[in-house]
Structure 1
């Protein structure tokens, strides 16, 4: 029988995509060599488009120059998944955890990420579901509310999930989100209705983290804010 699971939550606030990528690479290396325990980054990015390791550039519908003109960046990554947008008013979780230590495989890991977002949506009376055949992420009807793109190296995870709280959905018009054409992208605010006020985004970020730790069975939870982790991030 495995003992209690512990994890450290880093509340990072707004972080540049490349900075977050570099931090994940360092944490992943440290996790593989058991220098650190399982770690979860909770953050958001400035407007950023990313592509997965399959490099499906055709799913970005405008030029990189046009993206730059609208104040957005484009980055190529080694995660799974297709074209994705990250931006303000979106809750992002990047778990750097050892699947071997918690005893689950890649498929179950992705299912747990889906369940994390489904659980968060349910807190607001929104019935979300996992993607069906040919779909990825989490959906409300035929509208996508959350994206998943992960990398697993030597049993240690990086990248993760992005849940739309209230981002500017117009950004998604410049890509084929996750390579799935003719489907809408939605947000928590859009689904609950503009007349219903959501709590602060910090509260929703913390709720998403709580859903994650509950579903993955973590009981020893340590929170660190951006100030306390900044020195670690720069090492």
Structure 2
């Protein structure tokens, strides 16, 4: 008999990057102390560039002052991975989950994040795949559609993935995305011939793909301070 596992999902809408980071840090602390269940944040950010802990500033191609003139922010983080962009019309997931409780190592965890985005792309007839060695994230041919950058502390995850629904791809011209030169960035809008539903629907589909990949049989939706129970298999 399969054990039913629950995941609390916070639908946060658009939230400033630093505010989301503070929420993650508090949730990680609470998850380590077993005060909360596995939790998933679903959100978008205003235009924001982030660098990973390797501090690869050389992959930012314009001065930070120019970013500010564009209305974009730049933040340094403790996640893995290289520089990336977050902005409107992306679907972002930040899992705060215990890898020990679900019996996953770091590599398997990242692979399942990749499969989450690959499954979502497939719903729209887009054949995506994990990158080659040294190419993190999810790709459609030579074009990157989803980025991954994670942090794992004492077996608890934070940060996560960003899937391009229909962001302004011009923002990516100011960086070497994820440190991989001479490769394009793409979006679901560009790669599918299908008419996309409302973005909220795509966000929920991504959450469902995540739940299936990680074996959560029950989702608890938290929106506007309310928790609504929903069976993710329905």
Does the pair score TM above 0.5?
yes
- Matching residue of 2:107: 107
Alignment correspondent of 2:131 = 131
Are residue 96 (structure 1) and residue 96 (structure 2) matched?
Answer: yes
Instruction: State the 1:228 CA deviation.
Output: 3.6
Q: Distance in 1 between matches of 2:74 and 2:57?
A: 10
Aligned to 1:19: 19
Whether contact under 8 Å (1:52, 1:77) holds in the other structure is yes
> CA offset at residue 134 of structure 1?
1.6
Return the alpha-carbon distance in structure 1 between the equivalents of residues 225 and 72 of structure 2. Answer: 26
Flag the structure with higher helix content: 1
Structure 1 gaps of 5+ residues are 230-235
Aligned to 1:223: 221
Partner of 1:122: 122
Over the residues paired in the alignment, what is the CA RMSD in angstroms? 1.2
Match of residue 207, structure 1, among 205, 208, 211: 205
CA distance in 2, matches of 1:226, 1:33: 25
Task: Show structure 2 runs of 5+ residues with no match.
Answer: 228-234
Distance in 2 of aligned mates of 1:227 and 1:185: 35
User: In structure 2, what is the Cα distance between the partners aligned to 1:41 and 1:228?
Assistant: 14
In 2 relative to 1, CA 2–106 (structure 1 residues): closer, same or farther, beyond 3 Å? farther
TM-score by length of 1: 0.94
Partner residue in 2 for 1:233: none
Shift of 1:2: 7.9
Q: Secondary structure at the match of 1:218?
A: coil
CA distance 1:55–1:226, change in 2 (3 Å): farther
**Aligned runs of 1:1-235 on 2, under 5 Å?**
3-193=3-193, 196-228=194-226
Residue aligned with 2:80, SS: coil
Q: Between Structure 1 and Structure 2, how many residues are aligned?
A: 227
